């Protein structure tokens, strides 16, 4: 089946620092999605990417759909304490099968 490799597995950063995480796949996706999950909640969509090369921002978050369609990255600028949580990448292939990476746990030191 599809394999999504998400890195890093966890990050412990200082408040105000920028954060970068990425996802790579063994196969091509037609959509990349980035989600955040808070404890006890379901994942919430942050950014959706639909075209290879697309760069999309949502406030302090920026994500890009890789040119090869096999990778994506998410940047968070000037991190704040409420950014803590688990961030997931997800890829959707033709036929609407949606698969997820293992997640990046973000912890912020204030």
Partner 1 sequence: NAGVTQTPKFQVLKTGQSMTLQCAQDMNHNSMYWYRQDPGMGLRLIYYSASEGTTDKGEVPNGYNVSRLNKREFSLRLESAAPSQTSVYFCASSEYRGNTEAFFGQGTRLTVV
In 3D, which of 23, 11, 8 has the Cα closest to residue 85?
Answer: 11
Minimum CB–partner distance for residue 86 and partner 1 (Å): 9
CA-to-CA dists, residue 6 to 22, 25, 71, 95, 110, angstroms: 6, 9, 10, 23, 25
CB-based contact 42:108 (threshold 8 Å): no
How many residues sit in the footprint of partner 1 (CB under 8 A)?
28
List, in sequence order, the alpha helices (H) in 1-110.
Answer: none
| Residues 29 and 46: beta-carbon distance below 8 Å | no
Q: Which is nearer to partner 1, 52 or 102 (CB)?
A: 102
> In angstroms, what is the minimal distance from the CB of 110 to partner 1?
25
In the shown chain, the binding pattern of residues 27 to 56 toward partner 1, with x for contact by CB under 8 A and - for none, equals ----x-x-x----xxxxxx--x-x------
Tell me: does residue 96 bind partner 1 (CB under 8 A): yes
**98, 5 Cβ separation under 8 angstroms:** no
Confirm or reject binding of residue 101 to partner 1 (CB under 8 A).
Answer: yes
Q: Which residues bind partner 1 (CB under 8 A)?
A: 1-2, 4, 6, 9, 31, 33, 35, 40-45, 48, 50, 88, 90, 92, 95-103
């Amino acid at each position: 089946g599809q394999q999504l490799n998400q890195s890093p597995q966890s990050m412990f950063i200082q408040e105000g620092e920028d954060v970068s995480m990425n996802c790579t796949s063994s196969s091509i996706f037609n959509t990349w999605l980035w989600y955040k999950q808070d404890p006890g909640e379901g994942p919430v969509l942050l950014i959706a990417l639909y075209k290879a090369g697309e760069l999309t921002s949502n406030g302090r978050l920026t994500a890009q759909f890789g040119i090869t369609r096999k990778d994506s990255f998410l940047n968070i600028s000037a991190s704040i304490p409420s950014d803590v949580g688990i961030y997931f990448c997800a890829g959707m292939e033709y036929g609407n099968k949606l698969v997820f990476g293992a997640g990046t746990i973000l912890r912020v030191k204030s």
